Structure 1
Amino acid sequence: MARQPTLEFWYEFASTYSHLAAQRIGAAAEAAGVAVRWRPFLLGPLFAAQGWTTSPFNVYPAKGRNMWRDLEREAARHGLPPITRPDPFPQNSLSAVRVAVLGQDQDWLVPFSKAVFSASFSEGRSIAEPAAVAGILDTLGLDGTQTVRAAASEANKTRLRVNVEEARSRGIYGAPTFLTEDGELFWGNDRLERALDWAVGDRPGGLR
């Protein structure tokens, strides 16, 4: 049997379009015959390097208004639950992303990640407090309190910093980002299918 190509999915829990991509990528990748490696990270340090202290959708209000309407349209188009805007936006995703980094090699990473996105963008619940993240873990049959505590260890904080630095070094500047095995970068939920095509060798425009 031929080895499946792998696509890296870099995502941020505060990212609106990462929510759409997280809910869609499993079925889309399975249909394409592509394995997915989920890569949680923080956008804040990358935004700070560009001089932003918040989401660019807040920095540019007209862009933000259109983004929320676009998100509503895209959720409906893909059969996802209606969008609920978290307040505040963006949410502080540090506790959740630490847990995701802790679970990078665990089978609960994907259901946890999708549940965090759903809590924030479908249900309008806070994901900022460690207790809220622990509650999501509890619903998955995990020990939420213990897992959140382990995620706050110095060793895991270091793993998160390494993830962020890897994202920076590989040219990632936003989320969601998809990276193919040959290093091709696709940014945005609307590039998911194109990234999958590239991963399986359908590469018009590939010669540079």
Structure 2
Amino acid sequence: MSDVPIFYFDLASPYSYLASHRVDDMLGPPVVWQPILVGALHKHYRRASWGATPALRAAGIAEIEDRARVYGLSPIVWPEPYPANTLTAMRAATWAHAQGQARRFAEAAFAMAFVEGLDLTARPVVLEAADRAGLDSAELDAALDDPQLKQALREANDAAIAQGVYGVPTFDAGGLLWWGDHLLPAAAAALGRDPVSG
């Protein structure tokens, strides 16, 4: 486990989006924003996304929309398709992470996905997220097909699985892993922080 809190996230995850608004205040600073591909976790653990499971989808959507209201966030606008394969977006997040800009990129991309309902499977949308984050979208465009970037994301996925990360968001805090936006207060308490305000 890490001495510095880690926030494992995927841009496809609305629960990660919810947590992104509170994680730095509650666990940090600093907090490491670590992009991983939730699809790799699903494959490894042989389970399906709740959003692709008819028995869970409606309740999950209602819960997320309710939490957004409770947290004082803009109403959720669901992107199409949902759930989405965010491989390209997560490679972009990995590129931003290597520059120390994972948070800036993720905040821009999360807003585009869950406030504007834009499709993060579309490369132009991903590049626009870089622009909005103040990053070099031309440099990102060139990097997205780089085998080294693809390998970096695979290695991040493998490292997360080796640590025991099961889903996103997960918080590595206080020597333990906490899976789920609802456990962010518990992660804060494990660090001796106020579980309400951080």
TM-score of the pair, normalised by structure 1: 0.85
Q: How many angstroms apart in 1 are the aligned matches of 2:63 and 2:83?
A: 17
Q: Within the alignment, does 1:37 sit opposite 2:32 as a pair?
A: yes
Instruction: Name the SS of the counterpart of 1:79 in structure 2.
Output: coil
What is the count of residue pairs matched by the alignment? 192
Residues 3-35 of structure 1, C-alpha deviations (whole Å, 9 max, x = no match): xx62110001111100100122123335xxx42
Q: Within the alignment, does 1:90 sit opposite 2:83 as a pair?
A: yes
Q: Counterpart in 1 of 2:142?
A: 149
Aligned residue among 23, 26, 50 for 2:24: 26
Cα pair 1:179 1:185 within 8 Å, conserved: yes
Q: Within the alignment, does 1:6 sit opposite 2:17 as a pair?
A: no
Amino acid at match of 2:180: G
Instruction: Name the SS of the counterpart of 1:38 in structure 2.
Output: strand
Q: Counterpart in 2 of 1:137?
A: 130
Cα pair 1:6 1:35 within 8 Å, conserved: yes
Q: Counterpart in 2 of 1:101?
A: 94
Cα pair 1:133 1:148 within 8 Å, conserved: no
Cα pair 1:7 1:196 within 8 Å, conserved: no
Amino acid at match of 1:139: R
Cα pair 2:108 2:132 within 8 Å, conserved: no
Q: Counterpart in 1 of 2:183?
A: 191
Q: Within the alignment, does 1:77 sit opposite 2:70 as a pair?
A: yes
Q: 1:107 to 1:163 in 2, by over 3 A?
A: closer
Larger radius of gyration: 1
Cα pair 2:16 2:181 within 8 Å, conserved: yes
Instruction: Name the SS of the counterpart of 1:64 in structure 2.
Output: helix
Amino acid at match of 1:192: L
| Percent pairwise identity | 31
Q: Counterpart in 1 of 2:43?
A: 48
Amino acid at match of 2:37: L
Cα pair 2:5 2:32 within 8 Å, conserved: yes
Q: How many angstroms apart in 1 are the aligned matches of 2:51 and 2:89?
A: 21
Amino acid at match of 1:136: A
* Unpaired segments ≥5 residues, structure 1: 203-208
Deviation at 1:55, TM superposition (A): 1.6
Q: Counterpart in 2 of 1:206?
A: none
Aligned residue among 38, 55, 58 for 2:52: 58
Deviation at 1:107, TM superposition (A): 4.3
Q: Counterpart in 1 of 2:104?
A: 111
Residues 167-204 of structure 1, C-alpha deviations (whole Å, 9 max, x = no match): 1111111100011252x1101001111111112389xx
Instruction: Name the SS of the counterpart of 1:142 in structure 2.
Output: coil
Amino acid at match of 2:185: E
| RMSD of aligned Cα (Å) | 1.9
* Unpaired segments ≥5 residues, structure 2: none
